[in-house]
Structure 1
Amino acid sequence: MSGKAISFATREYSKEEVLRVLDPLVAEWFSGKFEDLTPPQRYALIPIHEGKNVLVSSPTGTGKTLTAFLIALSELFGMARRGELEDTVYVVYVSPLRALNNDIYRNLEEPLREIRELAEKRGLEIPEIRHMVRTGDTSSSQRQSMLRKPPHILITTPETLAIILVAPKFREKLRSVKWVIVDEIHSLAENKRGVHLALSLERLRELVGRDFVRIGLSATINPLEEVAQFLVGYNDDGSPRECVIVDARYAKRKTLRVVSPVPDLVHTPAQEVTAKLYETLYEIVRKHRTTLIFTNTRSGTERVVFHLKQLARKRGDIPEDAIAAHHSSLSRNVRLDVEEKLKRGELRAIVSSTSLELGIDIGYIDVVVLVGSPKSVTRALQRIGRSGHRLHETSKGVFVCVDRDDLVEVAVMTREAYRHHLDRVHIPRNALDVLAQHLVGMAIERKMSAEEAYRIVRRSYPYRDLPWEDFENVLKFLSGGYGELEEYKVYGKIWYDPEEKVFGRRGKYARVIYTLNVGTIPDEVSVKVLTLDRKYVGNIEEEFLERLMPGDRFVLGGKVYEFVKSDGLTAYVKPAYEQKPTIPAWFSEMLPLSYDLAVRIGEFRGQAFEWISKPGGLERLKEYLKRECKVNEEGAEAVAGYFLEEYLFLRSLGVEKFPSDRVVLVERYRDADGRVHHVFHTLFGRRTNDALSHALAYLASKRAGANIGIAVHDNGFALIYPPGVEPQVSLMDVAPSELEDILKKAVFNTELMRRRFRHVATRGLMILRNYKGHEISVEKQQLSAGTLLRVIRKWEDFPILKETFREILEDYMDIAHAREVLEKVHSGEIEVVDIGLLDTPTPFAYNIILEGLSDVVLMEDKRALIAKFHEELMRKIARAKAQAQAAR
């Protein structure tokens, strides 16, 4: 990336300098309304006025939105006064949330009205500047009136923008666009919605015929240079477009605390830990006006609300109805009601899974509490940034942890947050399903040369390196080039002439098909669970089904079932009441730990063990945790005790190397059922461990001729061998260059592959969600996907198959970092220390083994098992000490 194209704003401008470039009316309104500029405004307004692309990254409540709109408002009012304002769109504002769009609409009403009133006072007659929201919720009568009187400021979503680009009449209104504002860009960049938007913006650029000013708004994100390039893309000659980055991420002060409700997280009975957790939360709520509590799962949200309400009822000092839940499974009306109450200041506590992370205006929050780890520094800061909404206020965050691994993770995360070390964003590359959708869109617009379309596509950041062969294969697929697919009702949506290299739309339904099937978010559905004799058991989420392998056992409705197979959206199980479940029920909702943070935790492990091995080291570790990581006394005790146990146990075994970012410890543990858990302490985050574990389990299954189970954790993974089968693989068995090939074979016959193939085939318009106005059930889509997957497996270059593998290996797993880990193992930069078979696991292995042992719905079981491991461990350490003393 050339240094010239992307630059950081270094010059601050004064309020006077900004007022000088604004339209006199807007300047008068602004100076009467605001005492001074906020940090993003000081740096960003003049570059936007000069027509430069700008990416603004700053916390909630720092005036980002006004920064984005002010210059455009100024120019629109100037045009209105000069009588130059036409019935056409000048500003396109895109955000990922409909709720945020409605917020922006309301927030713009005030300046537009007040500036007009000011004009009238000055005796000026000026036409109205219109702003409207257009999303999937917009009625056809509203759409019609928008054609007659288009908004000057159009507020929309990525999906709707793609649809209006092919709307024959309305697209003409977009030729005048001068500014495009992309809000909450951090939540778009890391998934296919962002990829989709990047292509839409290049198509819009083609329609307009010149560059427009792009303004990106983001909360905390990293690296800013990459996100800026994602926002602006490239010129036709391949050179990066320019962008000025306004980095005001640290404009607000923050205070963070890490709290463990009890000093001993092993021996304290489960009920007591749980009671102390809710009391801790309740005390925080009691001491503040409004508290926002994040749990990582929807079920966690419901539990916290239930217990807080119980305490409120018992103590009587907080009204019960001042505590509410907010998550994506609740109906829209319930969510809106909660948001309104929050804005009116009627709520004392609001508990959310992830739904309140983005910038919808929710009024004033004093403190944000995070139950458990948010898994990345960036996400932690985004969540905590919701508190102290005004610029001069401090964002206040409290992490509450009841698990030792969580405690270590959050301690390091807090230290990194103060050091401004953020996790890097992962932007999907060369997604062929999204490309297919856009090529159909381009074909609807006009007959087009393939080379021209290729040039437009490659201007966008996610397709910068797209090979021509892949591009042409997508055209071949879309134009029915794989003939035998017609038997399965997959017909060409476009025509393509490979000789002349031109393509266009085929059939009169192309536009309807495109409009009804546009978008990247798969239909989320629940899966029916039946016994083999077809008795209904209950429902599970599709994401949960993705994880299941035949033989896996899980809890549903309080009973244990073994997964046998799935057919479409039905999972077949057999009762396994007497046996332990192998898959925790909340698995699908877990956020993965980021690779960057995982490596830092590995470094911290190394440092902690080094201190503990020296006199006075334990006190030094506790002091460090309290000073640098803001951990409370109880938390520091719990972490120090955890490391000391691991250290003493490994020493009692004669092991001199301890797990860190440079040492991967490997151990084996035989459980009560005779199964061996082959544990790899690879602290690299769940996505990386997903890739490593699937590759090793595939090799192990081949060698053992048996099904090998997998338990994946952020801190490592375990391969679970059936009784009588001994482990026979190591990390050295997978060459970095062979990883991709092994993983493709490993995932091909899994539920994960079948589900993801349906998602990709739907995005790539191979399977339609809606045909001629008829919704096609997900059940039918899945059956089609199953059939098609069997048909196309022989064509390796088939775009939909290729994209399914890419999505699983790069976006769902993290093959790039898994390869990096293997390279370091092979070169000796990471040392693998195998400590053999143990009859009790090391403390760092507890959570990894529990992941594959018992269902954590039963918190008591988990604690009892950890306590049992712990007793055995302490006996062993004592015995080793006694032997050492006797030997002296």
Structure 2
Amino acid sequence: MTEPADSDENPVPAPAVAAERRRAPRPRRIPRTREQQARFDAREPAFEPLPFSIDDTAASQPFADRLQAWFDARRWQPFEFQRDVWREIARGASGLLHATTGAGKTWAVWFGALAAFADSTNEPTSARSRAPRAQPEPLTVLWITPMRALAADTARALQSSAAELAVPWSVGLRTGDTSSAERARQNRRMPSALVTTPESLTLILTRPDAREVLSHVRLVIVDEWHELLGNKRGTQTQLALARLVNWRPELQVWGLSATLGNLAFAADVLLAPVSTPRVNVHGMLPKALIVDTLIPDTIERFPWGGHMGMRQVSAVADAIGEAQTSLVFTNTRSQCEVWYQALLEAHPEWAGLIALHHGSLDQEVRDWVERGLKSGLLKGVVCTSSLDLGVDFLPVERVFQIGSPKGVARLMQRAGRSGHAPGRPSRITIVPTHALELVEAAAAREAVEQRQIEGRDTPEKPFDVLVQHLVTVAIGGGFDAKELCREIRRTYAYRNLTQEEFDWALGFVEGGGTALRAYPDYHRVMRENDGLYRVPREDLVRRHRNNIGTIVANGTLNVAYLSGGRIGAIEESFISRLKPGDIFTFGGRALELIRVQDMTAWVRRATSSRGAMPQWAGSRMPLSSELADATLMMLARAANGIYDEPEMRAVQPLLELQRKWSALPEPGLLVIELLKSREGHHFFCYPFAGRTAHIGLGALLAWRVAREKPGTFSISMNDYGFELLSAQPFDWAGQLESGLLGLDELDHDILASLNSSELSMRRFREIARVSGLVFQGHPGQQKSARQLQASSGLFYEIFRHHDSDNLLLNQADTEVLLQELDVQRIRIALERMNASRVVVMRPKKPTPFAFPLIVGRLREKVSTEKLADRVERMLAELEKAARV
């Protein structure tokens, strides 16, 4: 397991313990001029802890004076919210700080910690020895961050500021990338402040002396809390905080967030275990946030996904050329590779000046790119969400978003990568790849202005994380069952944990449950004579430590040159479709596959410049409810003839044709289109509920209709609606009147309409890995995805037949409904559809809204070349009809 480089995409899996990992050869450098090479050689180095020293003259001054001098040297003044945080930390409070990106959240909590806890700074000069201290303070501050790149950047900032303020504190970094030598130093003596990740903190909790090591911690800071809140890494963080609070009841906890809609809820989740006073501090400073759109010269009235994006390359390149440094965000790693190649082909002279950054690239490559951004060496970087979070790239002037951002918070987060300093404006330019994304762009700008930011939910009682935590605590000194149960219940995630559920989890790790009782490897903890539960065997300890974490990625293979040098990692499912000699594009390079051996795809540079483009699983993000609602409001204005945004004026011909042939969806109006063609009978529906919900809605309606009259359906969906295609006609109007959209038996009908057992089995694969049922392998010896799937599938079948009350099975079913099918959003969509006025239109030809659904369905059946030809014929026919 490892910390994610891409928050919305699965990371490259790697063991949490990297101490045993052999260093990979350095990647080949991107071509650079002599001047560029000189600037690169003078770059900021990777984080290395500084030798402990202190300026005795500076240290003799009161800390408040030193801090003011620090601000004066930069011609800054502390903001009031920063002073508020300093006061609250000084009085022993915990809280959530919500502040504008680039406003100084780091300094708010860090300087508050230094002022409150650096003992030498609070004592009068006469009470201190005049000689510098020989040792820094013990581990006092834990700084938890969701990303390794952000961790290194934060550690540098904390270290340099502590040294400049003459505070006798050392700063350390502990992530999956930390060297074995540095880990050894930390094991001998922890730094005063440690920047780490949830996974690495959990590893520290497995130390037999964990309580002793962490007993001095007085403040825990959870950076970018909104990124952890909605997933199991956040649950893992909650459990770790509860453990620390149990050891030190007066522990203070502070969360940092920039873009979050449900702040009160986020604070409740984070601070549930703490007993100190709680506060929420808001630091939303006035900051110009410019959201504009790169509108293409021509816009077709019949759009289809991705058709328009690459026509914008020249315009994006021109804008990059005018700025000092730019970030070009894409929503998927495949799109990232395509755009990097396209920009380089448009400007070959930019070799060495533009770069690629996503989570599948080797760590050294990503480090090089991040240093190039900070130093201003790079002209532009094409990236994914791997660069979303708070790393400070001050030279960045422009940010581009290729395609719809799919969410308001994501748009604001990415915009904040430019102008990353108080008072500097942030600008993000949306580059639509689909004509209807022009409507989304206008809606997104209005949602940003009105701060309609998405909230985040949090997992409820994930038993796989609980099972993993029990083993972690058993390794880290052991636990008393009653005391640990009380501790776990203090977290928000497990506040409703019953004694029966806790006893089941304890019994599962102690004896393997009903089905695995005969297998010693699943007797992972045992109660010893002193009444404490511990792990009985050292091999079980090693196995658990090597697989700690909640991030479950699809199986990947390393990609490396035969001549030496690792490029990154790629999904096993993609490589398995290639044969030796095939060309594929990865990391901005055309590569020829030589062979696959030892979980590595060995390659060499290809002479051809084109090849297959890798596809990563889980790369399509659904439209958020907030942005969907804002988009419907824009369409409602268009339905009333109001086109007051430049994007809406550009797409007006398309929307007018949609209204002429059918109707425009809007709040309170559900548009359904029925159409007969040579393919069969089409049912189009536009709930604007997002891609994930439309998968479930389409399957649900097809299943309900087919109960009375058997039929076979092809389903297509996008963020705006879905299509059901059948060979025979159905009385859809009659079905709607008979309760087709009803909410009765919804969960049952959804599971029945899909292959629910297959979905649950797929979800169980992840649960099996997190709970430790499936061992992913020691460092450098990871099992293949096929092996892991076979193992988890075997457990699934065993539990179904011999341990049907297993709570991990129930969790799989629940996660299918809540996460994969998003049943809550389906329920909300059905409630809206029932409350709306339904208009059933019968156009003679596919409408502009229906056309992309048809193309999306055809894309799954025909090759790219045949699809392009077929789309051209369809477009010619439709345009001819539109001119009549």
What TM-score does the superposition give when structure 2 sets the normalisation length?
Answer: 0.79
Of 687, 690, 714, the match for 2:692: 687
1:850 is aligned to 855
Deviations 1:637-674 (A, max 9, x none): 33211221111102xxxxxx6422322222344554x3
Q: Structure 2 matches for 1:253-652, cutoff 5 A? A: 253-266=288-301, 276-313=311-348, 319-445=350-476, 448-480=479-511, 482-486=513-517, 491-495=522-526, 505-526=535-556, 541=571, 588-609=618-639, 611=640, 617=641, 621-622=642-643, 624-625=644-645, 631=646, 635-650=647-662
Q: Secondary structure at the match of 1:252?
A: coil
Question: Which residue identity lines up with residue 264 of structure 1 in the other structure?
Answer: I
2-structure distance, mates of 1:196, 1:175: 19
Task: Report the counterpart of residue 768 of structure 1 in structure 2.
Answer: 775
The answer to whether the 8 A contact 2:241-2:273 is kept is no
Aligned length: 768
CA contact (8 A) 2:404 2:430 kept: yes
Counterpart residue type for residue 257 of structure 1: D
Q: Does 1:817 align with 2:822?
A: no
Amino acid at match of 1:455: R
Q: State the distance in 2 between where 1:78 and 1:527 align.
A: 49
* Contact kept in structure 2, 1:490 and 1:766, CA below 8 Å: no
1:48 aligned residue:
89
Residue type of the alignment partner of 2:808: I
Alpha-carbon spacing, 1:179–1:586, altered in 2? closer, same or farther (3 Å): closer
Quick check: 1:217 aligned with 2:256?
A: yes
Q: CA contact under 8 A between 1:183 and 1:218: conserved in structure 2? A: yes
Q: Deviations over 1:435-480 (max 9, x none)?
A: 1111222333456454433332222222333444433332333333
CA distance in structure 1 between the aligned counterparts of 2:520 and 2:682, rounded to whole angstroms: 46
Shift of 1:606: 2.7
1:261–1:402: 8 Å Cα contact kept in structure 2? no
Contact preservation (8 Å) 1:112, 1:129: yes
Q: 1:229 aligns with which of 268, 272, 275?
A: 268
CA distance in 1, matches of 2:871, 2:150: 45
Q: In structure 2, do the counterparts of structure 1 residues 858 and 142 end up closer, same or farther at CA, with 3 Å as the change threshold? A: same
Contact 1:147–1:169 (CA<8 Å) still a contact in 2? no
CA contact (8 A) 2:242 2:490 kept: yes
- Seen in structure 2, the aligned counterparts of structure 1 residues 675 and 385 have a Cα distance that, compared at 3 Å, is same
Matched residue type, 1:247:
H
CA contact (8 A) 1:854 1:861 kept: no
> Is the contact between residue 23 and residue 77 of structure 1 (CA under 8 Å) also seen in structure 2?
no
* DSSP 3-state at the match of 1:473: helix
Choose between structure 1 and 2 for higher RCO, CA contacts under 8 A separated by at least 6 residues.
Answer: 2
Look up the equivalent residue of 1:637 and give its one-letter code: R
Q: How does 1:232-243 map to 2 (within 5 A)?
A: 232-234=271-273, 242-243=277-278
Paired with 1:51 and 1:86, the residues of 2 have a C-alpha distance of 22
The question of 1:107 aligning with 2:113 is answered: no
Q: 1:882 corresponds to which residue?
A: none
Equivalent position SS for 2:156: helix
> Aligned partners of 1:540 and 1:739: how far apart in 2?
38
Residues 692-701 or 428-437, more deviating: 692-701
Cα pair distance change 1:470/1:861, threshold 3 Å: farther
- Kept after mapping to 2: 8 A contact 1:585/1:855: no
Cα distance, 1:831 vs. partner?
3.2
Contact 2:443-2:631 at 8 Å conserved across structures: yes
SS in 2 for 1:833: strand
**Distance of 1:853 and 1:648 partners within structure 2:** 26
Matching residue within 54, 57, 66 for 2:98: 57
Paired residues of 1:324 and 1:351 also in contact (CA < 8 A): yes
User: Given residue 852 of structure 2, which amino acid in structure 1 is its aligned partner?
Assistant: N
Q: Does 1:252 align with 2:287?
A: yes
Q: CA contact under 8 A between 2:260 and 2:455: conserved in structure 1?
A: yes
* Distance (whole Å) between structure 2 residues aligned to residue 367 and residue 709 of structure 1: 42
Deviation at 1:166, TM superposition (A): 2.4
Residue 712 (structure 1) aligns with: 717
Distance 2:864 2:779 in 1: 50
Q: What is the identity, as a one-letter code, of the residue corresponding to 1:297? A: T
* Match in the other structure for 2:191: 151
The letter of the residue matching 1:418 is E
Paired residue secondary structure (1:397): strand
Distance 1:773 1:279 in 2: 43
Partner letter of residue 798 of structure 1?
N
Amino acid at match of 2:329: F
1:189-228 aligned within 5 A: 189-208=229-248, 210-228=249-267
Which moves more between the two structures, 768-777 or 710-719?
Answer: 768-777
Kindly state the Cα deviation for residue 379 of structure 1 after the two structures are TM-superposed.
0.3
Asked whether the equivalents of residues 689 and 714 of structure 1 are also in contact (C-alpha less than 8 Å), the reply is: yes
State whether residues 302 and 325 of structure 1, in contact with CA within 8 Å, keep that contact through their aligned partners in structure 2.
Answer: yes
For 2:526 and 2:358, locate their aligned partners in 1 and report how far apart those are by CA, in whole Å: 44
* Corresponding residue for residue 188 of structure 1: 228
- Asked if the contact 1:296/1:353 (under 8 Å) is kept, the reply is yes
CA drift at 1:706: 6.2
Q: For the structure 1 residues 264 and 99, does the alpha-carbon distance in structure 2 shift closer, same or farther, using more than 3 Å as the test?
A: closer
Shift of 1:311: 2.3
**Local SS of the residue matching 1:391:** coil
Q: Give me the whole-angstrom Cα distance separating, in 2, the residues matched to 1:111 and 1:197.
A: 27
Structure 2 residue matching 1:57: 3-state secondary structure: strand
- Percentage of matched positions with identical amino acids: 29
Q: Please give the alpha-carbon distance, in whole angstroms, between the structure 2 residues aligned to 1:747 and 1:55.
A: 41
- Tell me how far apart the structure 2 counterparts of residues 769 and 366 of structure 1 sit (CA, whole Å): 43
Cα distance change, pair 352–774 in 1 and its aligned pair in 2 (3 A) = closer
Aligned equivalents of 2:79 and 2:461: distance in 1?
38
What value does the CA root-mean-square deviation take over the aligned residues? Answer: 3.8
Q: Deviations over 1:829-876 (max 9, x none)?
A: 12333335x552222122222221225998887777666556655666
Paired residue secondary structure (2:387): coil
Residue aligned with 2:672, SS = strand
Question: Is 1:803 the equivalent of 2:811?
Answer: yes
Which deviates the most, 449-458 or 99-108?
Answer: 449-458
Aligned to 2:604: none
Quote the Cα distance in structure 1 between the aligned partners of 2:448 and 2:865.
33
Distance 1:86 1:279 in 2: 55
Equivalent position of 1:884 in the other structure: none
Tell me if structure 2 keeps the 8 A contact 1:23–1:78.
no
* 1:78 equivalent in structure 2: 119
Q: Is the 8 A contact 2:245 2:273 kept in 1?
A: no
Deviation at 1:398, TM superposition (A): 1.0
Task: State the partner residue of 1:67.
Answer: 108
The farther-off stretch of 776-785 and 349-358 is: 776-785
The structure 2 residue matched to 1:756, chosen from 757, 763, 776, is 763
Inter-partner Cα distance in structure 2 for 1:270 and 1:694: 22
1:386–1:491 Cα change, 3 Å: same
Aligned counterparts of 2:384 and 2:422: Cα–Cα separation in 1: 26
8 Å Cα contact 1:681/1:715 also seen in 2: yes
- 1:63: how far off? 1.6
